[in-house]
């Protein structure tokens, strides 16, 4: 009955969702209210100053700037944030092939104060995609592996529809029904979903694996507008050619 | 120490924030998890079908489609939602001058299941602006009275900088520090703020009343792009000239 209830566990973690209207990217600011240690996930370079200002106003100590994967549609704000907030370190998965201060692997836990994010490898959109799971507050940041009623494309950056299907089902939709799922993008204004909803209503992931692969391999999407500038930049935390 | 903690009280209410990228409007879907009674606040006509679909998928019973005020920047989805979900009723303040099934006044309470929203009159942006306060979950929907680090303009629709200043201070910033404040718009990707933050960092509302009035009366903003089509439509729930 309460499967669509939208909670965040204890509700104690500081949690802010931020949006980039141009690339439709969601950035997340998470922090421990006691120690003030904070992490930013998937920042966008054009909005890095907005993010740094919010961190500063909220009196937070930004320790990690993390990415769910090496993005092809925007330049990460990671490198610029490291300049704006020199104490922080960049974090990305080892498999991403991108440079970072800290490379994380499946099963590791990122800690900030009393808060914890479990790293789950969820390849398929890219080889190096991870989902950050917060068991304490009952949510996951799914990157482009799972979007609200959708999923990331699998036709570039070592994408594989079969791998994505397995990742989403084994690592994300296997979480409890009431876990909130926060995507890296949404194009129609949804901000969040839940495991229960996606298991029931995701038009792609509710298909059989064979149907999913067939669908994903025949989307006929346009070549990503910013991929040729984004990937080389995101390999080096977005600092490529930065003034 | 915990003043910026972002909680929603018991965390039991179903709560969804939705965004319109064109007008930068936030729409809110709130529901009682037990009775499934739901309300939508500030829907946008172009996205009414998205909203109706979400209501349907979540198994909710939409009883009210509410507006914080008569918007000048977009056509409300209220009328279209009444066609898509015939059981629901439209709600707006009596002072708005707009047609609706239910006219609310200062101090009234809107109920859906066990959930309650207190109506607080917060004129200044328009004559008929209200803020919906949820004491149980510790948040308020502020419409255009208070925006994240900003506020609605006061130079049309019977706007008054002095009235807005008094409304925001007496009805919104007087709430407890840890109340979350959800605006009707944001133009740089912020999704939420808190009473504590706005008391400390709102660049307009932290000024003296005299400075605020002077600032607001000299913004020199452009004539609102959609006001001439939005106001006549929103007077009649957005049904004006609807096919
Ligand atoms: Fe991506
Ligand atoms: Fe407005």
pLDDT at B12: 82
pLDDT at A239: 78
> What is the mean pLDDT of the segment spanning B44-59?
97
Quick check: A6 and B21 CB within 8 A?
no
* Secondary structure string (H, E, C) spanning chain B: CCCCCCCCCCCCCEEEEEEECCCCEEEEEEECCCCCEEEEECCEHHHHHHHHHHHHHCCCEEEEEECCCCCCCCCECHHHHHHHCCCCEEEEEHHHCCCCCEEECCCCEEEECCEEEEEEECCCCCCCCEEEEECCCCEEEEECCCECCECCCCCCCCCCHHHHHHHHHHHHCCCCCCCEEEECECCCCECCEEHHHHHHHCCCCCCCHHHHHHHHCCCCCCCCCCHHHHHHHHCCCCCCCCC
CA dihedral B164, B168, B171, B173 (to 10 degrees): -170
pLDDT at B5: 44
- Here the tokens at position B205 are 């509302």
With an 8 Å Cβ cutoff, the interface of chain A facing chain B consists of: 1-2, 4-9, 11-21, 24, 27, 33-34, 47, 50, 54, 57-59, 188-192, 197, 200-201
Residue A225: burial class (beta carbons within 10 Å; 0-12, 13-18, 19+): exposed
Ligand 1 geometric centre to CA of A224 (Å): 10
For the segment B62-100, what is each residue's pLDDT rounded down to a tens digit?
A: 999 999 999 999 999 999 999 999 999 999 999 999 999
For the segment B132-170, what is each residue's pLDDT rounded down to a tens digit?
A: 999 999 999 999 999 999 999 999 888 999 999 999 999
pLDDT at A10: 59
Ligand lying nearest the CA atom of residue A24: 1
For the segment B22-51, what is each residue's pLDDT rounded down to a tens digit?
A: 999 999 999 999 999 999 999 999 999 999
Q: How many CB pairs under 8 A join A and B?
A: 92
Which fold would CATH assign to domain B14-219?
Metallo-beta-lactamase; Chain A (3.60.15)
**Residue B192 distance to chain A (closest CA, Å):** 7
Residue B25: burial class (beta carbons within 10 Å; 0-12, 13-18, 19+): buried
Quick check: B11 and A12 CB within 8 A?
no
Quick check: B20 and A189 CB within 8 A?
yes
Q: Domain-by-domain residue ranges, chain B? A: 14-219
Ligand 1 geometric centre to CA of A230 (Å): 10
With an 8 Å Cβ cutoff, the interface of chain B facing chain A consists of: 1-2, 4-9, 11-21, 24, 27, 33-34, 47, 50, 54, 57-59, 188-192, 197, 200-201
pLDDT along chain A (243 residues), means of 10: 46 91 97 95 98 96 98 95 95 96 97 97 97 96 98 94 98 96 98 96 98 96 92 87 57
ipTM for the complex?
0.94
Long-range contacts of A116-120 (CB under 8 A, 24+ apart): A117/A30, A117/A39, A117/A141, A119/A93, A120/A171, A120/A172
Select from A145, A157, A153, A174 the least CA-distant residue to A220. A153
pLDDT at A220: 92
Q: Which residues contact A170 (CB under 8 A, 6 or more apart)?
A: none
Q: Which percentage of chain B shows pLDDT scores above 70? A: 94
Question: What does DSSP say about strands A130-134 and A115-121: parallel, antiparallel, or unpaired?
Answer: antiparallel
Q: Give contacts of B201 with chain A, Cβ < 8 Å.
A: 57
Q: Give contacts of B9 with chain A, Cβ < 8 Å.
A: 11
Rounded CA separation A105/B139 (Å): 38
A202: closest chain B residue by CA: B57
Ligand 1 geometric centre to CA of A217 (Å): 17
Q: Which helix (H) or strand (E) holds A6?
A: none
pLDDT at B242: 59
Give Dmax over CA atoms of chain B in angstroms.
54
B22: closest chain A residue by CA: A21
Quick check: A16 and B6 CB within 8 A?
yes
For the segment B117-132, what is each residue's pLDDT rounded down to a tens digit?
A: 999 999 999 999 999 9
Task: Give the other-Cβ count within 10 Å of A182's Cβ.
Answer: 23
Residues with CB under 5 Å of ion ligand 2 are: B 71, 144
CA dihedral B171, A191, A70, A210 (to 10 degrees): 170
């Amino acid at each position: 009955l309460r499967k669509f209830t939208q909670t965040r566990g204890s509700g104690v973690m500081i949690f802010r969702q931020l949006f980039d209207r141009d690339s439709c990217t969601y950035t997340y600011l998470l922090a421990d209210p006691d120690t003030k240690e904070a992490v930013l996930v998937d920042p966008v370079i054009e909005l890095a100053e907005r993010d740094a200002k919010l961190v500063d106003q909220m009196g937070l100590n930004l320790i990690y700037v993390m990415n769910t994967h090496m993005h092809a549609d925007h330049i990460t704000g990671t490198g610029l944030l490291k300049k704006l907030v020199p104490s922080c370190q960049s974090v990305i998965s080892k498999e991403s092939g991108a440079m970072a201060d800290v490379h994380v692997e499946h099963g590791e836990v990122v800690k900030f104060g009393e808060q914890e994010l479990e790293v789950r490898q969820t390849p398929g959109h890219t080889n190096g995609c991870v989902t950050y799971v917060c068991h304490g507050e009952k949510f996951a940041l799914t990157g482009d592996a799972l979007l609200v009623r959708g999923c990331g494309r699998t036709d570039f950056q070592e994408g594989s529809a079969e791998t994505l299907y397995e990742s989403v089902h084994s690592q994300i939709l296997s979480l409890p029904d009431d876990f909130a799922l926060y995507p890296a993008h949404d194009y129609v204004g949804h901000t969040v979903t839940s495991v229960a909803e996606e298991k029931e209503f995701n038009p792609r992931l509710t298909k059989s694996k064979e149907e999913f692969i067939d669908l994903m391999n025949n989307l006929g999407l346009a070549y990503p507008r910013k991929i040729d500038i984004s990937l080389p930049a995101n390999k080096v935390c977005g600092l490529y050619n930065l003034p």
